[in-house]
Structure 1
Amino acid sequence: MTAATPHVRSGRLRTALVVGGGAVALLVSVAVAMTLGPTDVSLVNVRDIVLNHLGLADIPVRAAANAIVWEDRLPRALVAAACGAGLGLCGVVMQALLRNPLADPFILGVSSGASTGAVLVAVLGLGAGTLGLSAGAFVGALVAFALVLLLARAASAGTSGVILAGVAGTHFFSAVTSLVVFAFADSDATRGVMFWLLGSLEGMRWNHVVLAAVVVALGSVLIGASAQTLDAFAFGDDVAASLGIHVGRVRLLLFVLTALMTATLVSVAGAIGFVGLVLPHAARLLVGPRHARVIPATIVLGALFMVWVDAASRTAFAPSPLPVGVGTALVGVPVFVALLVRRKAARS
């Protein structure tokens, strides 16, 4: 067995520092986020409440503080972390499969389809009360993804066909959403729907935490196991095929996995943009292009990013929260521009 080169050892060390340091920063960030809000809660209170619920202590705490931290702020922060990690991870997969640095999880039409499904349930009452907003969004996301796949298959133009089909599907479902809201929604329904469409983590509970965490954990394991496959796809279909990869089958499976993860997260938290676009680039800038390093770095950075964006979104205009999707766009656009400028400077 040959010894690792200094360059490989340096990359591994840098990845370990980014992932390890990011994980510590994430734990601290979640704890600090618990203290932010109209009601003051100290870090000591947060520690005591968490230890009490984990069965590791029995420390007297105020009932109000306990409810605020355990039933409201902690589930919200954990869902934010799961959404950031999951959407960032889906962005890594899409950019590798499509060989397009501007690809993100929503390029498959999942977000616009979820919006249409949510609007049909909220405004038209589709499902006769058997479907909630999240269930409608999930069904709509899957329908949109199926349509995009059918269009891409009909186009038979490889990755460019997928991108074009995704653009067509996105605009179609966005138009349907706008039509339903314009023609059938009253002012109250319009306001509620638009708040969800912009991404909202209001009202997160522990069942949302479990759903998002399980989906992201399973997706992380499966995508992490495909790191070398994603490396091959990044060099093109011919290279992947020469390495014994069944290009069509593997790409379809990864598309389906990405769509299911994105659909689930969007059904929980609404459409949160720019996370899947920006965070993979930030991870590559820190740890290099190999997916075995990019994947864990993106998971940690995405979770950290979303925790802080959500904390800022719910406190900047308190008591009225800012939709978290607006926050990710306000932060994500300047960060993405800075990454592009730095990337160009590094190449020149």
Structure 2
Amino acid sequence: MDSHALARAVRSLVFLPLVACIAEAPEGNEWAASAISDPAVGPAAVWAQTARLGRCGTWSLNENYSTGRFNVHRYQVELPAGGPVEVRFARTAASWEPAVLVRDTAGAQIVADGTAVEHPAVTATVAASGRGSDRAVLTLEAAAPTTVYVYATGWSVIDGGFRTYLPRTSRYSISLAHECPAGNWRTAHVGLDLDGSLIPRAGIANGTLRRTLGVRTEPYGTVVTVDDLELVQGSISWFGGPSDYGVGAYETTAISGERARALNSPMNASAETIASRPEDFYYAAMRFDYSPNGTRWWKNARLLVVNPATQDAIVVRPADWGPNTYTRRIIDLSPQSLEDLGLTTDDEVWVAFALPDTPLGPVR
């Protein structure tokens, strides 16, 4: 490994502010929350939340209407491109009939009155409306990443013009599951910018780089376009694991806070070991700009890394900051990542974002 020890040493002397991320509390604990106005559901008292669904991933929540202050729960969901997302909304307590409405952020209907509505970007299929039942089930499929609102309520609320409320003992579970289509790395690609954070690349101002190394603008990383998808191209090396003597035995990574030499252990691990804890074997360091989202955002991010020659690809998690600019490299990867990609130090890769919660490891 070509160590980025200088960057680490400087980093240890520099204070880098973090941006706090505060998770929303469940309804039974949100007395300070206020109902929002949403024209799609008229006079309803709406509690708005975000459901983060990763590509090929699942999301679920157990919730309730116990405060009696809200009669509609709205979940903002970004539908991944390709492959259906199954939405299941099931009653788990009290007597009421679950109902789901879906609209896009402009208010156009996707699912209304228990039936699918033709929409230019999202195809919906309703398997169960929830009337006369304890659950509503539907699927949503988008050709491109599309943000929608999923409204979880009861048929009695809809029939009452959104002026009535469910019993305060009403409880439910809601889940989302994305069925990944067969494909290659292109199905995991979501671009170079995500939530205001950027894949580092030449010409981009970087406050963290300036504070750490005194360099104002990222000097390396060329943007290339492959099948209309943008990626950053540059050279690589490796870090972490028992064989990384370029870092101290107890030195920790800047983003994840892990002992660098405890990662990727053991070397030459079995497939079963890697599958049981992929986070230990698929990680990366880049010269990330921590603004505007902070290190916690990067800790939860996912990076798509592609071997341009073979098109083999992996998904890794940010664990550290580096390498130093004197290396002229754009990214350091785990030893296992280089092995999977069939690459060695100073070979070139393509890098882009994958959605958070995308499974770590080789892209199948």
Both proteins in one fold, TM over 0.5: no
Q: TM-score normalised by the shorter chain: which range applies?
A: under 0.3
State the TM-score, normalized to the length of structure 1.
0.23
Which of the two has higher C-alpha Rg? 2
Q: Give the number of the structure whose residues are more often strand, by fraction.
A: 2
User: TM-score scaled to structure 2, two decimals?
Assistant: 0.22
Larger RCO of the pair (alpha carbons < 8 Å, separation 6+): 1
